[in-house]
Amino acid sequence: MNLSMGGNVKVKMHDALNKIFSRIVDSDLPEPAELPSLPNVVEQARQEYLNAQYYYNTVTDKDLVDHAVFLMQAAEKKYMYLLKQAREQGITYSLYSTESRDKQTDMEHTAD
C-alpha cells in the first residue's frame, strides 16, 4: 500500500495551508483588554472570600455544606496568593487606610 501523496495533492495542501495562515496573520485582531490593577484584584478576591464565608455560615442544606467549604477554601487561597503578590510588589494600598482616605479627601477638595 503506497501512502505517499502525489505532487498535485501536496501543492493543493500547501496552497490551502498558506491561505489559512495568511488569514490568521493578516486579520485585524482586537486590542487586548487592559487588566485591572492588582489592588483592585485583591479587593475583589477579598469580597469573594467574605461572600464565601457568609455562604458557609448561612448554608442550611447538608448537601451544600461540602460545596460551601470548597468555595471558602478556594476563595481563601486565591486571596492569600494575591496578598502575597501585592506584598512582593510593595503594594500597600488599602481602601480602609487613613492614607487612602486622606488622598481621596484631597482629590475631592481639588475637584471643587
Digit-coded pLDDT (tens) for 17-62: 888 877 776 666 667 788 888 889 999 999 999 999 999 999 999 8
Question: For the chain, what is the domain count?
Answer: 1
- Give ∠ CA 79-83-88 in degrees, rounded to 5: 150
Extract the C-alpha cell encoding 28. 485585524
CA distance 91 to 10: 57
Residue 88 lies in a domain: yes
The domain of 96 spans: 36-111
Residue 22 lies in a domain: no
- pLDDT tens digits, 55-81: 999 999 988 999 999 999 999 999 999
| Contact between 66 and 43 (Cβ < 8 Å) | no
Residue 48 lies in a domain: yes
Residue 91 C-alpha from the chain's centroid: 18
Residue 65 lies in a domain: yes
Residue 15 lies in a domain: no
Count CB atoms within 10 A of the CB of residue 72: 19
pTM over 0.85: no
Residue 7 lies in a domain: no
First to last CA, the chain: 85
Residue 10 lies in a domain: no
Count CB atoms within 10 A of the CB of residue 17: 10
Residue 104 lies in a domain: yes
